[in-house]
Chain A
Amino acid sequence: MPDNRISLGQGILKGLALTIKHFISRPIITVQYPEERLVTSRRIRGCDLVWDSERCTACCTCAKSCPQGNIHIETKVRPDNTREAVVFEIDHGRSMFCGLCVESCPFDAIHMGRSYERATYNRDSLVIPKEKLVAQGDRQPSGYFRPQFEETLPPQSLLIYGGKSSEVKTPENPPPQSPATAAPVSEKKEPAEREKVGVK
């Protein structure tokens, strides 16, 4: 079904021009993980759930709202008639990190974590008991449904601003505050340094 358009190979030449333009002048957009890391969203639903033993009243709302049913809680009544979670474990291997438990907790006692590196060698180690569920090390709460944390976290790096943090080019944003509850997952390289790696 040839049409009447004159075709002289100019489409191919245009394409070649575009690719060589990219070759010469466009910046590399990939990130050299693990040396370079981008700052994740303030609301990231990382592959952790962080639990706050002080605030938890063992009301079990989170367990009820989990679509997978993978929050396991056993409670005990204290002498002052409050409840305490004797067992609180989450099977991270079955969790789909949907955040519904975080959303439903009435006491802000469970948070999504910020970390995204949780590879292990066996499945059992993904079932995390309550001693290990609390915030420690790089297991830090993110701002998902927790505005009080969200404000303290560093701004996300966006590719649309060249992979740098969003505060760089949008002056209308508030200046970033020092992260209080959460230490940044790791240091972020300066963009200039990234460029340097990019050019051969």
Chain B
Amino acid sequence: MDWLHWIIYVVIILAFVLTLVMSFILIERRVVGRFQLRLGPNRVGPQGILQPVADAVKILLKEDIIPSKVDRVVHLLAPIVTFAPAVLIFAVIPFQQAGNGLFFDLKSTASMVDLDVGVLFIFAISSISVVGLVMAGWASNNKYALLGAMRTIAQMVSYEIPMVLAVLGIVLIAGSLSLADIVDKQNIPFILLQPLGFFIYFLGATAEMNRSPFDLLEAESEIVAGVNIEYSGMKFAMFFLGEYAYALAVSTITSVLFLGGAKFPWGLLPQSFIWLLVKILLVFFVILWIRSTLPRVRVDQLMGFAWKFLLPLSLINLFLVAAEGMLPSGFTWPIVALNVTLAVALVVIWANRFYRVGGAKVA
């Protein structure tokens, strides 16, 4: 019985991750194309939907080059170490809650394991991928790759702290580390109760997955794709898939933690995994929107942003959540209003202060 459950979920998760990653690649190219007044890939298959397949076939047929000066074992291991954690994250994602659903009812939560420490698991696993990137950067024996790896370490380590602190706010409200419980508690999406937390988490996550404006790790115009520079063929594909799988993971976690996962807002309609999917796509669209608008920040500004802007704000946020937790229950809507106001005020004040003291400048 247990084995059957696990096998079914391994298949479900792999199918979910691979199909969504494939469609993310296409969606990204089409959406960014539309932002830039062009169509994007539309040749292979109707509306270009087979483009990811064509890309995959192409990349599989590419020669697999291992440069002579690389550290072979580490070089070969790095893409796997980067890709695997991104998939592992999905082990704890609740795709649908127990109880009545839109299409079918479930006896228990639809997730591979409903860990009591799900949030902790996610953050522990997702920080492994940085090891893979550093391995790639070091083993490639290339200066650009090394610079990219140096940037990666600094970036990932710094942004994890405000991110985790922001999520702690959610944990405080929900009173549980289990993702299923967190979704259960979201009668109104936590983005309304925790606007500041969402803001910090989202920016931190954007940096964690190396998305513009924090895509310093790849920085094609500066360090020529950074750690990927010596990779080709299937190994490059692993990095590429890993990047998108991580984007998918971030979109999913954001949907689960802040947007109410499989629940329809305010429970107007029965819950279903469809809503989760819609939310994931929505979050990904916002990521693409930001990507197609903003230039990249510089590496020292990136650090300044994490330590001088996000970290203090996330501490304040945590304090506020704790203070609000002492209030008697039943004040949901006043608290939402208060929190939104506070979030806007704090961001504005801090942004201005940050800008004036030259937080974004070289010391």
Contact = CB atoms under 8 A, between A and B. Distances in A.
B107 interface: no
Contacts of A32: 39, 42
Given A2-B355, A6-B352, A20 B37 contact: no
Interface stretch (A11-19, A44-52, A106-114, A133-141): A11-19
B357 to A, nearest CB: 7
A27 B37 contact: yes
Contacts of A2: 355-358, 361
A200 B47 contact: yes
Given A1-B361, A2-B358, A19-B293, A8 B351 contact: yes
A9 B351 contact: yes
A7 interface: yes
Nearest to A29: B37
B37 A22 contact: yes
B292 interface: yes
B72 interface: no
Interface string A13-41: 00110111011001111101000000000
A119 interface: no
Contact of A28 (B39, B292, B357): B39
A1 B361 CA distance: 8
Contact of A16 (B31, B290, B356): B290
A160 interface: no
A-side interface size class? 20 to 34
Contacts of A19: 35, 289, 292-293
B-side interface size class? 20 to 34
Contacts of A7: 351-352, 355
Contacts of B36: 22
Interface string B284-306: 00000110111000000000000
Given A19-B289, A20-B289, A200 B30 contact: yes
Contact of A200 (B34, B355, B356): B34
A192 interface: no
B11 to A, nearest CB: 31
A76 to B, nearest CB: 52
Contacts of B39: 28, 30, 32, 197-198, 200
A15 B351 contact: no
A88 B164 CA distance: 77
A8 B34 CA distance: 28
Interface in B64-99: none
Contact of B352 (A8, A18, A20, A27): A8
Interface in B317-359: 347-348, 351-352, 355-358
Contacts of B34: 23, 28, 200
A25 B255 CA distance: 28
B139 to A, nearest CB: 37
Interface string B98-123: 00000000000000000000000000
Contacts of B289: 16, 19-20, 23
Interface string B30-67: 11001111110010000100000000000000000000
Contacts of A8: 347-348, 351-352
A24 B289 CA distance: 12
A30 B37 contact: yes
Interface of B: 30-31, 34-39, 42, 47, 289-290, 292-294, 347-348, 351-352, 355-358, 361
10 smallest CB-CB distances across A and B, nearest first, come from A7-B355, A30-B38, A2-B358, A19-B293, A8-B348, A29-B37, A15-B293, A23-B35, A8-B351, A9-B351
Interface of A: 1-2, 4, 6-9, 12, 15-16, 18-20, 22-23, 26-30, 32, 197-198, 200
Given A16-B290, A22-B36, A26-B37, 6 more contacts: A22-B37, A23-B34, A28-B38, A28-B39, A30-B38, A198-B39
9 contacts: A6-B352, A9-B347, A15-B294, A16-B290, A22-B36, A29-B38, A30-B38, A200-B34, A200-B47
